[in-house]
Amino acid sequence: MAGDLKVKMEAKLKVFPMKEMGKDVTAYMKKNPALQKKFERIEYSEKVELDKRKWTPKKLQDGLAAVARYELKLLAVRAAKMIKDGEKGDPKKLEKALTKEFEDIKSQILDKASLAIEEVVSDKGDNAKSLKDCKAAFGKLGDVDFANMYKGPRESMVVIFDNLAAALKDAGEQKDGGKAMFSSYLKDIEEITGDFERVGKAANTAIDTLLKAAKTTKADKSVDAELTAFAEKVLKNEGKFTSAVDKGKKFSDALEAAAKLMKAGKATEKDAKLQAAVFKKLSGLDGSGKDAISLARKLEPEFKKIEKKLK
C-alpha cells in the first residue's frame, strides 16, 4: 500500500554560524563570549511524514543546512563589515547591532527551513511544484524596482555633491567648523545607502528564487517537456539577471567612499565635484537593472501560457 511507504521522521536543522566567520570576527567574538555563544548555533526541528524511498533524516538535515548556506555567508560578510566600521566606537552599540543582524538572519533561516519542509511534505511531483516555484519567483521579481535600482540612488548622489560643491564655493574651504554641514550630507548618503541595500537584498532574493526554481525544474525528469524548455531558457539568460546585482559592489564601494569623505569633514569644492563626476560615470549601471526587468516582463507571459496549459 502507498501509505506504508510514508514514515514519521524528524527534520532537523543544525548550523553553526561561527564556522563561517573570518578571523577578525572570530577575534572579536573571543573578547565577547556572551555574544559568541549566541552566534554558536541555529537549530530547528519538525516532525514530518515522508516517503521513505526519497527521504531519510540525514538527507533532510543536509538539505536544510544547504538552505541556510546563503544567509550564513551573508551574516559573515555583514558581521565583518560592522565590526570593521564600529569596533572603535561604542561597544554596546556595536554589540546591539550585531545581535539584531544575527536575529534577522536567524529569522530568515528559520522561515526558509519551515518553508522547505512544507514544500517537501506537500510535494506531489509532476508539474505542481515547478509551477508553484516559478510563479512565486515572478511574484518576487515584480516587487523589485529594477528600473531604479541604480538610477535613483545614483542621481541622488550627483545632486548631493553638486549641492555640496556649490555650498563650499559660497562658504570657502571648510575646516573643522564645517563638520555640521558634512554631517547633514552624511545623513542623506546613509539613507540612500540603506535604501540601495534593501533593494539589492530584495533583488538578490528574487533572482535567486527564479534561478533555483529553473534549476530544480530542469533537473526534475517528471516535469512536462514544455516547462523544462522554459526553465532552460531562464537559465540561458542567467547572466542578464545576475549582472543586475553583481555590479552592486562597484556602486556600494562608491557609496562607502562618499560616506568616508563626509565623515572626515574636510572635503573641498574640488572633492565634491570629483564625487559628483564619479556617480555620473556610473550611469552605465542604470541599464543593468532595466535589462533584468525587461527580461522578466518577456518571460512571465510565456510562463503564464504554460501554467494555464498544465494546470
Q: What is the pLDDT of residues 187-243, one digit of tens each?
A: 999 999 999 988 888 888 888 899 999 999 888 877 777 888 899 999 999 988 888
Q: Is 35 exposed, middle or buried (0-12, 13-18, 19+ CB in 10 A)?
A: middle
Q: Would you put residue 126 in left (φ > 0), alpha (ψ -120 to 50) or beta?
A: left
Q: Are 220 and 130 in contact (CB under 8 A)?
A: yes
**Percent of the chain surpassing pLDDT 90:** 51
Cα Rg of the chain, angstroms: 24
- Write out the DSSP string of 120-135: HHH---TTHHHHHHHH
Residue 123 pLDDT > 80:
no
Residues sharing a CB contact under 8 Å with residue 231, sequence separation 6 or more, in sequence order:
130, 134, 213, 214, 215, 217, 218, 223
Distance CA 130, CA 276 (A): 46
Distance CA 240, CA 258 (A): 28
Strands 6-15 vs 42-51: parallel, antiparallel or unpaired = antiparallel
Distance CA 262, CA 31 (A): 31
Q: Would you put residue 265 in left (φ > 0), alpha (ψ -120 to 50) or beta?
A: left
Mean pLDDT of 160-176: 79
Output phi, psi for 64, to 5 deg.
Answer: -70, -35
Q: Is 225 exposed, middle or buried (0-12, 13-18, 19+ CB in 10 A)?
A: exposed
Q: What is the pLDDT of residues 11-66, one digit of tens each?
A: 999 999 999 999 999 999 999 998 999 898 999 999 998 867 678 999 999 999 99
The single residue listed with the C-alpha cell 556600494 is 252
Distance CA 202, CA 204 (A): 5
Residue 89 pLDDT > 90:
no
Which DSSP helix (H) or strand (E) runs through 237? none
Q: Would you put residue 47 in left (φ > 0), alpha (ψ -120 to 50) or beta?
A: beta
